[in-house]
Amino acid sequence: WRFALGDTHIAGLSRTFADVAVGAPVAYLGSDDFLEISVRNANGAARLGGMLGAEVRAWYVS
């Protein structure tokens, strides 16, 4: 999978924040199995310009 939030592109789903470098964007399934987008060790909403309900584009890459 690939995801995009605004101009930020994220390759694949991560299982934990440790799967990405500090400051890197991350896509993961939260505790309720909803897709969540964040930034490791930073404020994802501030860094990515997203907020609850923001449009995230997703596409499958084979």
As a whole number of angstroms, the distance between CA 36 and CA 62 comes to 22
Q: Per residue in 17-53, pLDDT tens?
A: 999 999 999 999 999 999 999 999 999 999 998 888 8
CATH topology of domain 2-59: Elongation Factor Tu (Ef-tu); domain 3 (2.40.30)
Query: Is the overall model pTM greater than 0.75, yes or no?
Result: yes
Return all residues near 43 (Cβ < 8 A) that are at least 6 apart. none
pLDDT at position 3 is 98
User: What is the reported pLDDT for 2?
Assistant: 98
| Three-state DSSP state, 52 | coil
Asked if residue 50 lies in contact with residue 6, where contact means CB atoms within 8 angstroms, the answer is yes
Q: Can you give the residue ranges of every domain in the chain?
A: 2-59
Relative to beta strand 8-11, strand 35-39 is unpaired
